[in-house]
Amino acid sequence: MTLNDGNLVETLDAAQATMGERLGGFTPEVGLILGSGLGPLADRIEDPSFVPFGEVPGMGVSTASGHVGRFVAGMLGGKRVLAMQGRLHGYEGYTAQEVAFPVWLMERLGARTLVTTNAAGAINESYRVGEFCIMADQLNFTGRNPITGTAPDAMAPRFFSMLDAYDPELRALAHRVADELSIPVQEGVYLGLLGPSFETPAEIRMFRKWGADTVAMSVCEEVIAARHGGMRVLGISLVSNMACGVEGASPSDEEVHEVGEARQEDFCCLIEGILEQL
């Protein structure tokens, strides 16, 4: 079923029915989106059920490197989670609503909390590669918003506040767990772009003046959809590289995945620790 604004609600109904059948009535508490280099966390989910994106009505398939492109449902950190092992991006050719679609689906299936993760470049020169950054706020520079059109207005009010889009209590919890595990974390403003080209040094200098600390090519549309649906949101980036021009950096996709692999264990411990205390 091809997704468009005219059939968004109908397609969500079909996707919800399909997932209900495939998961046997499993009701997630938490939706979890695993970004570039971070997908192996899904391998720790207990008693997993797998549903490839392409088998869900309205869902696109993931074409990004390292993104498996499936839902994984089960227990993680003592919570019922529905994880996306990989995500959809605008740079793959998907519309804002197609990127947001799985978030709306998670909310419909019962998830009231969204934990979204990604790999990001550091604009803030005090950050170091391999650190984690808790998202305090976002700058949506994709030029898109999934709530445009008529269908989302039928699902929830069209106009809604983005104050504390990243839940303060969840951010405090993430800091507390990181401290307990002796995992260094930062907190800052995330800027999302459409991609797929990395940013220019001039753009990075501009973004720094805007107040951005990290930058990547995902998350913003997901968070807007989650807040539209009333979900609480926690966002965590792995600083996989310094942004273009910072300390002479010239980012590459290979670097992103290498850092993700190197920081996999701490990432898994951090997310599981947060889930255990939710």
* Alpha-carbon gap, residue 103 to 40, rounded angstroms: 20
Q: What is the model's pTM? A: 0.96
CB 254 within 8 Å of CB 240: no
What pLDDT, on a 0 to 100 scale, did the predictor assign at position 19?
A: 97
- Any binding-site annotation on 88? yes
- Any binding-site annotation on 237? no
Residue 79's nearest CA partner among 19, 115, 30, 116 is 30
Mean pLDDT (the chain, rounded): 95
The 8-class DSSP code of residue 62 comes to P
Interval 4-36: pLDDT, tens = 888 999 999 999 999 999 999 899 999 999 988
- At position 212, the amino acid (one-letter code) is A
* Alpha-carbon gap, residue 116 to 242, rounded angstroms: 21
What pLDDT, on a 0 to 100 scale, did the predictor assign at position 1?
A: 62
- Any binding-site annotation on 218? yes
- Any binding-site annotation on 112? no
Q: Which residues of the chain have pLDDT under 50?
A: none
* Alpha-carbon gap, residue 258 to 130, rounded angstroms: 10
According to DSSP, the β-strands at 70-76 and 46-52 are: antiparallel
Type and span of the H or E element at 80: strand 79-85
* Alpha-carbon gap, residue 158 to 162, rounded angstroms: 12
CATH topology of domain 5-277: Rossmann fold (3.40.50)
- Any binding-site annotation on 89? yes
- Any binding-site annotation on 199? yes
- Any binding-site annotation on 36? yes
- Any binding-site annotation on 261? no
- Any binding-site annotation on 145? no
CB 10 within 8 Å of CB 108: no
